[in-house]
Chain A
């Protein structure tokens, strides 16, 4: 078999998939602009994606903050820099771990949910039925989910940042004998608005990517229950890869050397 032909076919298929996904994302993200805007569908998606994700994101954040505090303390002891624990922990959480972990948890929870929901609607003709009822599925199903996830993710990440820093504070104060008020003051003096802001910008981008992947794979799914299962799996994997890849790109843009 010709290796070039195999590689070429794979590359063309990948580019075609990225192209189709980009067109879908643009169509879905801007479908609401020409109206109508389905407020009820948007609020329902915002509640499910935003508010209902808080418990799992909060749990992840508190344990991440706690484990990070132990690791930073242990590592910085080697060069007597353990007093910098609050500063290192807070900047790590708001810039990287808060947005990253929250996005991965929301991807696992919501991107898969969107793919399964839209996939089930696709294979049972519900999306086709919607078109015949003079309602554009992009406006009713896709746009509210993309908009809600993009807008809610910064709030989720802000909560994850606060809970993650609190998890580190708990370990620092009760296990590592830091003074609680000094710990908070150090963070307050060190952390800048830019640190938090870049994390929130990342959150919005992650939200957009998560919802596009979930909606795209669900909307395009075919072939009954097996197709819905494959769509769900693809949505979660593609979301995770997109989060990690875009995180690197954004970090390299935000960091000043």
Chain B
């Protein structure tokens, strides 16, 4: 495969790069509907990128790239889910397909709500912000945060959950206020 890649010209790589970069956030969101854990979603999108590159010579440039890429992402997601014993049931009755399609339908609404996230993060009390920072930015993990703060893992888990609830309420409030004005 590396040999194949080497034979492709730089222009092809650059073209693929630009198209993929323009689509990657959408791909990640698409995949997150069936693989909500961030590490899992990243793994699937990585595999998707490799698969897209392998098939890039089959891409019809007259058509939009993202839907083409999403089809690959859905297939790769299903392969990934099929390998996960616990998640395999989501493939029955095409629930995985339903979720990713619905995610696309809701995209504008979700994006609208998430525009208020940063403002809401800034309103969090410092301990909650530090918790969010530790878990999401520094990726310390529940156990690591528990060790760092000398609290139980369960306490950290609950605190994170409460913090997300605070964020959700704050965002919903901000959306309501925005609609009212």
A binds B: no
B interface residues (Cβ-Cβ under 8 A, vs A): none
